[in-house]
Amino acid sequence: MGLLQGASELFPVSSLGHAVLLPSLLHWAFKQSDPSFVPFLVLLHLGTATALLILYRDEWIVIVRGFVAAAIRGQIRTDTERLAMLLLVGTIPAGVLGVFLESRIKSLFASPYEAAVFLIVNGALMLGFEVVRRRAERRSGRPGSSRPEDEERFAHAERISFRAAALVGACQALAFLPGISRSGVTIGGGLLAGLQHREAARFSFLLATPVILAAGLVEVPQLFSNGVPVGEYVGGACLAGVAAYASARFLLRYFRSGRLDPYGWYCVAAGLASLALLRFGA
């Protein structure tokens, strides 16, 4: 479960959707209503957030310094300060929607059938993002140019507008629906805002870190409730962290020239297969 959560949290394939679907399809004796499930999930998220912090450790130091400097000065002077403020602007809508809507939405759509349907919707969204992106590339592109050349015509994360950062941040709320991928919708939102694929993934990962970390840290006291096997859960969290780190490295390399389409097709296929298995019995 730790490996699954760590890998699928950053891949645009919905970790929540897989967490709802797989135990049901594989008949794992694993209940999400169990009181010890929340602490387990908390530790897995902390593992993922730690992996992202390690991956971007140098960048986070510069971002935090830039944030403090720009906040005190009341003025943005460098790209890093702008990125720090963009992350704040993107995090606020995600935080507001997360605190007020997350548990309500999750409880409304917690069944495997709904997760499978939303997984198909997620796939359609990924494919849709790429259709829009290809149009933008055709409008601005030169015939015969290579993929890396096409990508170079699009922006870095620091150049996104504040309104776009807020919209990308708000897109994260869609991921409360099991089957919709947080990284998928934020990478897609970044593409619509005119970012390079790799930069959209980078912005998505940077945006995810404070939200995942804060959500995890706030729930830490639950780990110390009676009957929680902390040792086993920490093992799961370490695996989640390793999987998340490897996934992020892979995705950042992949998005130098890769697109969202394979993940879109995977989600559509996995959603349809899950629906069939749930309907006719695995």
Partner 1 sequence: MLGVVFLIVAALYALGVLQFFASTSSGPHYKHMLLFGVLGVASFIAANFARERVV
Rule CB under 8 A: which residues touch partner 1? Answer: 71-72, 74-75, 88, 91-92, 95-96, 99-100, 103, 214-215, 218
CB of 114 to partner 1, least distance (A): 20
The closest of 43, 48, 58, 62 to 8, measured between CA atoms, is 48
Q: Which is nearer to partner 1, 104 or 279 (CB)?
A: 104
Q: Which is nearer to partner 1, 44 or 248 (CB)?
A: 44
CB of 190 to partner 1, least distance (A): 22
Q: Which is nearer to partner 1, 74 or 231 (CB)?
A: 74
Residue type, 38: V
Residue type, 235: G
**Residue 12, token pair as written in the block:** 């645009």
d(CA 204, CA 190): 8
Q: Which is nearer to partner 1, 4 or 211 (CB)?
A: 211
CB of 27 to partner 1, least distance (A): 30
CB of 74 to partner 1, least distance (A): 4
CB of 95 to partner 1, least distance (A): 5
Q: Which phi and psi angles does 155 have, rounded to 5°?
A: -90, 165
Q: Which is nearer to partner 1, 25 or 69 (CB)?
A: 69
Q: Which is nearer to partner 1, 33 or 75 (CB)?
A: 75
CB of 67 to partner 1, least distance (A): 9
Query: Which alpha helices (H) appear in 74-225, and where do they start and end?
Result: 79-108, 112-140, 147-152, 162-171, 182-192, 197-218
Classify residue 158 by its DSSP letter. G
Does an H or E element contain 58, and which?
A: helix 57-73
d(CA 88, CA 210): 9
Q: Which residue has the tokens 């400097």?
A: 69
CB of 211 to partner 1, least distance (A): 11
Q: Which is nearer to partner 1, 187 or 215 (CB)?
A: 215
Q: Are 49 and 240 spatial neighbours (Cβ–Cβ below 8 Å)?
A: no
Number of C-beta neighbours around residue 118 at 10 A: 25
Q: Which is nearer to partner 1, 54 or 96 (CB)?
A: 96
Residue type, 243: A
CB of 140 to partner 1, least distance (A): 32
Give the 3-state secondary structure of residue 148. Answer: helix
- Transcribe 166-192 into DSSP letters: HHHHHHGGGGGSTTS-HHHHHHHHHHH
